[in-house]
Amino acid sequence: MSRLEYPLYRVGAVVVVVGALGVAVLLNVSLTADDPVSRYETARAAIQLGDALGFVAAGGLVFGIGVGLALGGLRAYHEEVSDR
Amino acid sequence: MSRNTALLVVLLLAASLAVVPGSVAGGPGSVADEPGSLSITSAGITADYETPESVCTGDSQRLVVLLENGDVVSDEVALFEGTSFRVVLCTADGGESTPESTDAWGLTGLDAFERVNVDSHWIQLKATAKTNSTDLSMHLDGRAGENTRAPRVAVRSTGGTSTGHLDQPKTVYFFDETARRQFRAGRDEYEGSVTKARNLAKTLEAGAGAENPIAAVNRSVLASYDERLASLESASDTVEDALLTAAVRGNADATAAYLEHRKYHDKEMTRLEESLAAYLGAVEEQAGTARLSVTGVLLGSVVVGIGVGGVIGQTVSLRDLKRIRRKRRRDSTVDYHLGNLWKVFLGAVLALVGSLGVLVAGPGIELLFKVLV
């Protein structure tokens, strides 16, 4: 089995998907202590983050572009090297 | 054995001993002999009154006071208000002392005592008012003037203290002023703690029902929760200890008050705990909605970004790689390597730094950390 059967862009895509799932889980599961103040603080942080959706969307978009650039480049590399 | 179980055992024991057959309810106990030195006897904990036959000895006529705890008094005694006792007249007409039938004698003109029961050989009185010292022989009717020795009985008032904070208040007698003061201080502190706890519960309940629960209650209110809870527990312990002390000394009402207090305290604790649970539930529900929105927006924007970035990255890279291909046709030493993709990699790094910058400038890293961890 050659190295190209596991092209980097696919490995990268898998890493991105797993990472995204991890972040989604962390965003929705609180790991803090059980005391009232900690629960209140965590909930308040989530609500404040929800109030800043514009920044979240912009940050996510720019982050996605960065990841897309790398994955797109790797895919082009894979196609080019496979064709030679 | 838990603390509560141990207390309950003590209480039940005290309650069972406190109800002495033949006694009159409400008697908090007695102070034995020697007026001035209030040595406390434990009325109700010992078995019962002595019998008239067993206390009549000697060869003179005398009145004898029998206490509920089995004590026999022939000289002086100080009793607490509410205490019951029996009086026996021992006569020695035939040389041998025997209890005289109550048909032949009586006690009259006793302002501080109420006659509550009469048997063939004894009269039962209850101390109803404070008095310094009463010589019972001065109130003997029927055999008066026969040189009768009699004990002097004083009545001390400790006053009952109401457990007014309870739904069904009881009057509890403490056997010394220190215990009574401690109870009153504990009760007042407890009432203060209950008021604060109720205010906190009300705030939390209102917050739970508010449209925007997180804005309805300050963090400092939540921070005071543990303190309120500890204060309520501590004040309750003081009250319970005082009631237990009174209960163990034989005051049946103290036993009832203790049990009533436990019920009352449990109710207050439950309300406080439930109000907190309701409020945190409402806040976490509000946060759950926000979390879902953040997740959706974040993942959605990342997917869109990947799509856009992917097209750009692939287009730019293909153009550069075709340039390499053309070079390879002219020069066989030229080969592909990942460094050919430096433009997209640089763009990716800049984008990642940029996204971090946006998040720092917006919600802030601390907030993200709080939500994620």
ipTM, two decimals: 0.91
Cα-to-chain-centroid distance, residue B276: 19
CA–CA distance, A53 with B296 (Å, rounded to integer): 10
Average pLDDT, chain B: 83
Strongest mean pLDDT among B34-38, B91-95, B133-137, B344-348: B344-348
- Position B29 confidence tier, pLDDT thresholds 50, 70, 90: very low
What is the token pair recorded at B24?
A: 């009159």
Per-residue pLDDT, B120: 93
DSSP state of B338: G
Residues of B in contact with A40 (CB under 8 A): 214, 219, 222, 280, 283
Per-residue pLDDT, A32: 66
Q: What angle do CA B160, B162, B163 make, to 5 degrees?
A: 140
SS3 per-residue string spanning B207-221: HHHCCCHHHHCCHHH
Sign of CA dihedral A32, A36, A39, A41: negative
Res. B259: pLDDT tops 70: yes
Percent of chain B with pLDDT over 70: 85
Cα atoms found within 13 Å of the Cα of residue B264, Cβ hemisphere only? 22
CA–CA distance, B117 with B94 (Å, rounded to integer): 28
Q: Which of A20-24, B34-38, B157-161, B252-256 has the lowest mean pLDDT?
A: B34-38
CB atoms under 10 Å from CB of A63, counted, come to 24
Res. B74: pLDDT tops 90: no
Q: pLDDT by residue (tens digit) across B187-233?
A: 999 999 999 999 999 999 999 999 999 999 999 999 999 999 999 99
Res. B45: pLDDT tops 50: no
- Position B47 confidence tier, pLDDT thresholds 50, 70, 90: low
Q: Which of residues 8-47 of A touch B (CB under 8 A)?
A: 16, 20, 23-24, 26-28, 30-32, 35-37, 39-47
CA–CA distance, B255 with B270 (Å, rounded to integer): 23
Residue B23 CB contacts under 8 Å (≥ 6 apart), including other chains? B44, B68, B84
Write the DSSP string, A4-18.
GGS-HHHHHHHHHHH
pTM of the predicted structure, to 2 decimals: 0.65
Mutate to test the interface with A, among B212, B328, B344, B367 (most CBs of A within 10 A): B344
Question: Which run of H or E residues covers position B153?
Answer: strand B152-156
Q: pLDDT by residue (tens digit) across B93-105?
A: 777 889 999 998 9
- Cα distances from B127 to residues B62, B73, B124, B217, in angstroms, run 21, 15, 10, 56
CA–CA distance, B99 with B52 (Å, rounded to integer): 6
Nearest Cα of chain B lies from the Cα of A67 at a distance, in angstroms, of 6
Res. B35: pLDDT tops 60: no
Write the DSSP string, B261-274.
HHHHHHHHHHHHHH
Question: Which residue, B370, B315, B371, B354, is CA-closest to A61?
Answer: B354
Per-residue pLDDT, B163: 84
Question: Which run of H or E residues covers position B36?
Answer: none
Q: Which of residues 230-289 of B touch A (CB under 8 A)?
A: 276, 280, 283-284, 286-289
DSSP state of B1: -
Mutate to test the interface with A, among B294, B321, B328, B329 (most CBs of A within 10 A): B294
DSSP state of B174: -
Kindly give the pairing relationship between strand B98-99 and strand B62-67.
unpaired
Strongest mean pLDDT among B69-83, B125-139, B347-361: B347-361
Q: pLDDT by residue (tens digit) across A7-54?
A: 889 999 999 999 999 999 988 887 766 788 989 998 999 999 999 999
Residue B342 CB contacts under 8 Å (≥ 6 apart), including other chains? none
Q: Are B308 and A59 in contact (CB < 8 Å)? A: no
Give the burial class of B344: count Cβ atoms within 10 A of its Cβ; 0-12 exposed, 13-18 middle, 19 or more buried: buried
Looking up tokens 């904070």 gives B165
Question: Which residue, B184, B191, B179, is CA-closest to B161?
Answer: B184
